[in-house]
Amino acid sequence: MPAALRQVAAGLSGPAARLFDQAAAALESGRGITGGEGWTRALEAYYPASALRPEDAAALRLLGSSLGASDRQEQVKHLNLCRERLAHLEGQAQDHAGRYGRVWGYGGFLTGLLVVLVLF
């Protein structure tokens, strides 16, 4: 499993690659931990400095519980479910950003208008 995680990390760039590298390093440490435990340790180290929301981290944490615990088909199923969940969460985040981005834009406009009115 560490080799597979390193291969995924090599195909990625930025912070995501670091997550997979950390998971591989945790498994290579020789302490007899499972794939899920290695993934969880890497995610706990990665999450605080990332842009992940708690919901995103929960989806990734759930994925870790299935890593190395079942056959290849089951793991592919879990990976696809996680991907779908993360895509859904991404859509929610984009909706949220669009909605609140407009609110901040209107707030800036109204603040500017208030300043103009106060000055005159």
Residues 6+ apart with CB under 8 A from 43: 19, 23, 57, 60, 61, 64
Task: Enter the pTM of the model.
Answer: 0.67
What residue segments make up the domains of the chain, in order of their start?
2-119
Residue 110, pLDDT > 70, answer no
The tens digit of pLDDT for each residue in 42-53 reads: 889 888 888 788
Name the residue type at position 89. L
What pLDDT digit, counting tens, does each position of 40-88 carry? 888 898 888 887 888 888 888 888 877 777 787 887 888 888 889 888 8
What pLDDT is recorded for position 120?
61
Question: What pLDDT, on the 0 to 100 scale, is given for residue 103?
Answer: 62
